[in-house]
Amino acid sequence: MRLPLIDPDRRNGSNETLAAAAAFFCGWLVLAWPWLSGRYTIPWDSKAEFLPQIQFLAASLHSGQSPFWNPYIFAGHPQIADPQAMIFSPPFFLLALFVSAPTAWAVDATVFVSILIGGLALIAWFRDRGWHPAGAALAALVFGFGAAMAWRVQHTGQVLSLVYLPITLLLLDRALARDSWMYGACAGLAGACLVLGRDQVALLGVYLLIAYVLWRILSAKSPAAAWHEANLPLAAGIFAGLAVVAIPVLLTIIVAGQSNRPEIDFYGAGRGSLHPAYALTLFAPDLFASAGEMRDFWGPPSSAWAGTDLVLAQNMGILYLGAIPMLLLLFGAGSGAFWRRDIRFFALALPVVALYALGWYSPLFWVLHKFLPGVDLFRRPADAVFVIGFLGAVLSGYAAHLLLQHDHAGLSQRAFERGLMCAAGGTAVALALCIATAIAFHHWIDAAKPMMLAGVLFALAAAVMMDALWILPIRPLLACGAIIGFTVADLAISNAPGGATALPPAEYDMLSPTTKNETIAILKRKTAQGRSDTRRDRVELVGMGFAWPNASMTHGLENIVGYNPLRLDLYSLATGAGDSSGLTDQRTFSPLFPSYRAKLANLLGLRYIATASPMSILDPEAQPGDFPLVAQTADGYIYENPRSFPRVTFAASAAPADFDIILHTGTWPDEDLTNTVLLSPEDEKDSGLQATRGTGSVTITRYTNTEVEIEADSTRGGYVVLNDLWHPWWVATLDGVSEPVLRANVLFRTVRVPKGHHTVRFTFEPVTQALGSLLTR
């Protein structure tokens, strides 16, 4: 027997579905217009992290290069394995494919179009189940502009992960209902897009879908028959999904093991827990002044809540779905409607996901962190607010579906009245708690405006709902329109653009491909002037603001730092590079890189340092005259390091060195690295090349993201030393024949060459090398 859609006979015509889609589109246009009009741009991580990644992807594709290795941050980064690279994000890959230099507006528009598609998928899913079109439109609005989708829209990757959830759910439900392997395969592909987000929202979405499939099968009249019918579509989905995700996920797992954060312990994850007080934001979203300046914010984990030990952005926990959706949630819970078979799974999933989000405030999270695969890879259980928003959208839309039918879908009068009492009483208690909390923390003046607004909105919402129910029998379109229209207005006011979600585009001028920024112009000119057949100067952007570190990707500047929470551990250990260098004090040093005077800075070819602070503050060990001032701009200072090495050198001899000792002590062997290369004892022994008086020369003849070609001439042989970051996925050939890439001078690459003229080619081959390493274990 096939798994049926819920109440298939109650499916209405396509006209009602189109009406729901049109209502959602109009609401989407209103709510997204502040960004689509160009007045605002989505700030913070959307620009500092994701915009440069997408620009790098586009530039690579349009120049005929592979985007799999990124030379513009952290002296080289395995981009193919980075979840935030957007290489495997269909919307952004298409944008990069058709636009050579995406602007901030283009990226914002892509985000909102993706939200539109996700909302339309949710409407289609509602209609497949025979639920009311107005409930479908309401659910889509709450999904797209409620909770984290409004307040955390700057986290582009997580927004996209949530967008794929209703799309996958729609296709999966159709596959099971119709015993269709084609829908199953499509669901697998959509699920693969979800998995490729490789973030915590994606992880929770995958587990939610798995639980949903199990629920559908086990709750069927004959689970055995249901399982048999589900085999084909599920198998098609699994095979299609694995074909897409296997390699990228494998590469990410491997790089995670090489990174600065292979796993997050319970304490580290718990610091990203959702504080229970954020439940109040279901009723008053800006209760804690989350939309304003940080100095005004008084919610956890601000100083007003001493001892929480949380590390959360001030807008991370906002849960507001809208006044009418919240009343509907309370009504559905109080009336018992959410215990109906067709919605029960989502009603049970919501508290489970909420307990996960609470992190160390809930015993459930400790169990899941310890035993559920993947949970220990992420540091913020509060990211589950995205999934809470999705479940809230489904449940509130379902409650609207019940109420907007003439008989309220068979609800008894007693259940109906109990639901109304729960909605009224629950709202009153919640608003009272908001007031009590503000008074207890001595912020009642700050909280007065958001609490008054919440009170007004909930009173109006209740009035709109009661009026809509009264006129429903005679003016159903007017009743539904009032509910949808009020919700759009409510979300436009309560989840309005704020400092965390909308800033003037001029704030990110340095990330514009056509910027006139003086600092960027000088660095581009200087590095271009210094380029030769052996030299490619690197830069460092430090202390100039949150959005600056990854501007190097936008403008093709090879930067030794950047902004990314995921970095190669070897590089971070060697250089001290942290998540970001937007603030001066974020530029920490290491034993091997204690100062810009360090030998490692020279080996990296660090030529120019752009900083908001004078060098004497940035690097107290710097001596007068060490770093001549090139220019002073509105952004700060640009200094030159005249001792930087060329990108490629020739070493006539090799010497053994213990790289671990060098890394941890910062003490180099007494060798001249302009003519000698340091190798691990095993590599040096195997080379058989001893110190000679031979000479040699090298020339870079081709340099792209994933391929470097070098011509070498020598009288007695030696080593071609490329001062690019060593990684096991880089391979080399010598005159077309495979040659080992040795790790040189702690961080870099070298290949041994015999005497005479030779061509050395380095290529980045992540897939073959990763698979090869697994097969040889």
Does the residue 672 lie in any domain? yes
3-state SS record for 285-353: CCCCCCCCCHHHCCCCCCHHHCCCCCCCCCCCCCCCCCHHHHHHHHHHHHHCHHHCCCCHHHHHHHHHH
Q: Does residue 67 have a cis bond before it (omega within 30 degrees)?
A: no
Residue 3 has pLDDT above 90, yes or no: no
Residue ending a domain, choose from 640, 657, 679: 640
Structure tokens at 276: 């229970």
State whether 666 and 766 are in the same domain.
yes
User: Which pair of tokens denotes residue 672?
Assistant: 């001249």
> What is the pLDDT confidence band of residue 687, given thresholds at 50, 70 and 90?
low
Question: Each residue of 98-131: pLDDT tens digit?
Answer: 999 999 999 999 999 999 999 999 999 999 999 9
Residue 355 within any structural domain of the chain: yes
421 with 279, same domain? yes
* Residue 561 near residue 548 (C-beta atoms within 8 A): no
- 588/558 same-domain check: yes
698 and 633 part of one domain: no
Report the alpha-carbon distance of residue 285 to residue 434 in Å, rounded: 11
Find the mean pLDDT for residues 18-36.
98
Verify that 634 and 728 share a domain, yes or no. no
Cα-based angle 394, 397, 402 (whole degrees, multiple of 5) = 125
Last residue of a domain, one of 608, 640, 672: 640
Mean pLDDT confidence for 57-86: 97
- 571 with 466, same domain? no
Are 621 and 492 within one domain? no
Record the tokens describing residue 615, joined without a space. 């060098």
pLDDT of 293 > 90? The answer is: no
Rg (alpha carbons) of the chain, rounded to whole number: 29
Query: How open is the CA angle 483-488-491, to the nearest 5 degrees?
Result: 120
Intra-chain end-to-end CA distance of the chain, in Å: 46
Q: Are residues 358 and 447 in the same domain?
A: yes
Do 345 and 368 reside in the same domain of the chain? Answer: yes
SS3 assignment, position 738? strand
Residue 452 resides in a domain: yes
**Residue 320: predicted pLDDT:** 98
Q: Which two tokens stand for residue 731?
A: 């391979």
Condensed to tens digits (0 to 9), the pLDDT of residues 464-523 reads: 999 999 999 999 999 999 999 999 999 999 999 998 899 999 999 999 999 999 999 999
- The boundaries of the domain holding residue 571 are 514-640
Residue 363 has phi, psi (to 5 degrees) of: -65, -25
pLDDT tens digits, 610-639: 999 999 999 999 999 999 999 999 999 999
Do 475 and 578 belong to one domain?
Answer: no
Q: Count the domains in the chain.
A: 3
pLDDT at 689: 52
Residues 630 and 751 in one domain: no
Whole-angstrom distance, CA of residue 394 vs CA of residue 116: 16
pLDDT at 8 over 50: no
Average model confidence (pLDDT) across the chain? 95
Together in a domain, 498 and 573:
no
pLDDT above 70 (res 688): no
pLDDT of 77 > 90? The answer is yes
Residue 221 lies in a domain: no
- Half-sphere exposure for 338 (CA within 13 Å, toward CB): 22
Strands 653-656 and 676-679: parallel
